[in-house]
Amino acid sequence: MAIDRLRKHKIIKVIFDTSILLTPFEFSINIDFELEKLLGSFEVFIPTCVIEELKTLSEKTTGKKKRNANAALKLVEKYKTIECKHREPDKALIEIAKKLPKAIVATNDTELIQKLRSRNIPVIYLRGKNRFVLEGELR
Which domain CATH number covers 18?
3.40.50.1010
pLDDT, tens digit, for every residue of 5-51?
545 557 899 999 999 999 999 999 999 999 999 999 999 999 999 99
137 vs 75, higher pLDDT: 75
pLDDT, tens digit, for every residue of 49-102?
999 999 999 999 999 999 999 999 999 999 999 998 877 889 999 999 999 988
Categorise residue 28: left if φ over 0, alpha if ψ from -120 to 50, beta otherwise: left
Predicted pLDDT at 4 = 52
Residue 63: give the domain boundaries. Answer: 2-135
Structural domain count, the chain = 1
Q: Please tell me the distance from the alpha carbon of residue 97 to that of residue 40, in angstroms, as a whole number.
A: 19
